Amino acid sequence: MSLAETTALAATYARYPVEFVSGSGCVLRDADGAEYLDLLAGVAVCNAGHCHPRVVSAVQDQAARLMHVSNLFYTEPMVRLAERLSARSLGGRVFFSNSGAEANEAAIKLARKARRGGDFLVAHGAFHGRTYGALSATPQESKQAPFAPLVPGFTAVVPEAMADAVGPQTAGVLLEPVQGESGVHPIDAEVLRAVRAACDEHGALLIFDEVQCGMGRTGTLWAYEALGVRPDAMTLAKGLGGGMPIGALVTDPGCADVFEPGDHGSTFAGGPVVSAAAHAALDVLDDETLLASVRALGERMVEGLRELPRVKTVRGRGLMVAADVDADAPPLVRRALDEQRLIINATGPGTLRFVPPLVISEAEVDEALRRLAAILG
């Protein structure tokens, strides 16, 4: 039986009939030994590249020593990671989760507790995850409708209207500084500054979802660093664990003490193995030489994409890039996989997204552009 014939897996994904067995850097290998150039990186997860040796060795060492003790005790990798994330960003406390959706659930609970009964503002086109709170913050009819009723109190507005929509009832504004799943839409820094001012005026929490745009993806460790706007809290996951499942809600000191014992929890979150992996991923990604390369190669990719046939518009920040094409995007993704062994994805019917490992080389960017040209030509 080929793996694609299984009826045992839930049918929640339209998977491609490819079985990957190993990877390193930007390259994945299938069961027949064929090599693929990966411009998707999980889905924006393997920022440090596939099986980065530092991540692998951190996981191996920690797994051989201690894997789990529950959150009733301290472990060194977890505490050191919390200290490191706090010191390197907002300066408050860190709640660990296992995924991006769970990090956003924590953020939603935090804001609701800080302003009891308060409401949330989210942006049109946002994606915050599939669990009920995160889904309620994800204003997309196709994703929400089958699962109604949702959690009450979420209103979606266009980012430009957000500042005016914040009021005394607003508990939190949840925003991706660069929207990922909607097709890489950076939110204007001016707009974010106005939302920051409105949140300050009304005492609402500004929460940035950096699940996809954090961990170096946009050319700074956190996307907010390039915008001149500091959130009250941010959520992380994806690239944080270097391929291992870990998420986090990081607060500033102002809302650090909202959560008290018993308010929230997770059996596995912040365990020693995933925390050790996150340390190794941070060692790789919190590096100015690498971040400068993300910015330079992002520009190279944007310029290269603009030269390709059937490409209408290109946008992005760092190595979070999308191209609107004058063609049906999903079949192009399939052809790229089958004909060029190039892994990309489509965020909509006419939009291709490129979120490669951040360790990609200039030669690999050029090779990817060459393979794309063959598909688009």
Ligand X SMILES: Cc1ncc(COP(=O)(O)O)c(C=O)c1O
Catalytic residues: 127, 209, 238
Which residue, among 73, 57, 207, has the nearest Cα to 128 in the 3D structure?
207
Query: For residues 370 and 308, what is the distance between their CA atoms, to the nearest angstrom?
Result: 9
338-377 positions binding ligand X, by CB under 6 A: none
Quick check: 212 binds ligand X (CB under 6 A)? yes
The stretch near ligand X (CB under 6 A) out of 125-133, 194-202, 221-229, 348-356 is 125-133
Evaluate the omega torsion of the peptide bond into residue 309 and state whether it is cis, within 30 degrees of 0.
no
Quote the CA–CA distance of 282 and 305 in Å, as a whole number: 29
Residues 266-287 as b/e (b if ≥16 CB within 10 A, e otherwise) read: beebbbbbbbbbbbbbbbbbee
CB of 179 to ligand X, least distance (A): 7
Closest CA to 324 of 300, 354, 357, 360: 354
With respect to ligand X, which residue has the nearer C-beta, 195 or 369?
Answer: 195
Residue whose CB is nearest to ligand X in the complex, by number: 100
Residue 170, interface with ligand X (CB under 6 A)?
Answer: no
Indicate which single residue of 93, 128, 279, 317 sits in contact with ligand X (rule: CB under 6 A).
Answer: 128
CA distance 165 to 162: 5
CB of 217 to ligand X, least distance (A): 10
DSSP state of 25: B
If the CB atoms of residues 101 and 273 are measured against ligand X, the closer one turns out to be: 101
Told to check if 105 binds ligand X by CB under 6 A, we report no
Q: How far is CA 89 from CA 48, 139, 214, 370, in A?
A: 19, 28, 11, 38
Nearer to ligand X, 38 or 176 (CB): 176
Interface residues for ligand X in 82-101 (CB under 6 A)?
99-101
Residue closer to ligand X by CB (options 240, 280) is 240
Nearer to ligand X, 108 or 114 (CB): 108
Q: Collapse the DSSP code of 113 into the 3-class scheme (helix H, G, I; strand E, B; otherwise coil) and give the result.
A: helix
Measured from the CB atom, is 13 or 73 closer to ligand X? 13
- Binding of ligand X by 217 (CB under 6 A): no
CB of residue 367 vs ligand X: minimum separation in angstroms?
A: 26
Q: Which stretch binds ligand X (CB under 6 A): 14-22, 76-84, 121-129, 215-223?
A: 121-129
Q: Long-range contacts made by residues 138-146, C-beta under 8 angstroms, separation at least 24?
A: none
149 cis-preceded (ω within 30 degrees of 0): yes
Q: Shortest Cβ distance from residue 377 to ligand X (Å)?
A: 31
The letter for the amino acid at 52 is: H
Residue type, 228: G
CA distance 327 to 312: 10
By the rule CB under 6 A, 127 interacts with ligand X: yes
Q: Which of 237, 273, 291, 342 binds ligand X (CB under 6 A)?
A: 237
Total residues in contact with ligand X, by rule CB under 6 A: 15
Which is closer to ligand X, CB of 127 or CB of 259? 127
For the segment 4-33, give every residue that binds ligand X (CB under 6 A).
none
Q: Which is nearer to ligand X, 36 or 127 (CB)?
A: 127
Quote the CA–CA distance of 77 and 214 in Å, as a whole number: 21
Q: Applying CB under 6 A, which of residues 177, 180, 318, 357 lies at the interface with ligand X?
A: 180
Of these, 181, 232, 252, 364, which contacts ligand X (CB under 6 A)?
181
First to last CA, the chain: 36
Q: Record the tokens describing residue 215, joined without a space.
A: 């961990």
Q: Is 129 in the site for ligand X (CB under 6 A)?
A: yes
Q: Which residues on neighbouring strands pair with residue 155, listed in sequence order? A: 121
List of residues 6+ apart from 338 with CB closer than 8 A: none
Residues linked to residue 314 through DSSP beta bridges, in sequence order: 323
Residue span binding ligand X (CB under 6 A) among the ranges 80-88, 208-216, 329-337, 339-347: 208-216
Q: How far is the CB of 121 from ligand X (least distance, A)?
A: 16
In the list 175, 211, 248, 332, the residue contacting ligand X (rule: CB under 6 A) is 211
Q: Token digits for 217?
A: 């993806």
Residues found near ligand X in the complex (CB under 6 A) = 43, 99-101, 104, 127-129, 176, 180-181, 209, 211-212, 237
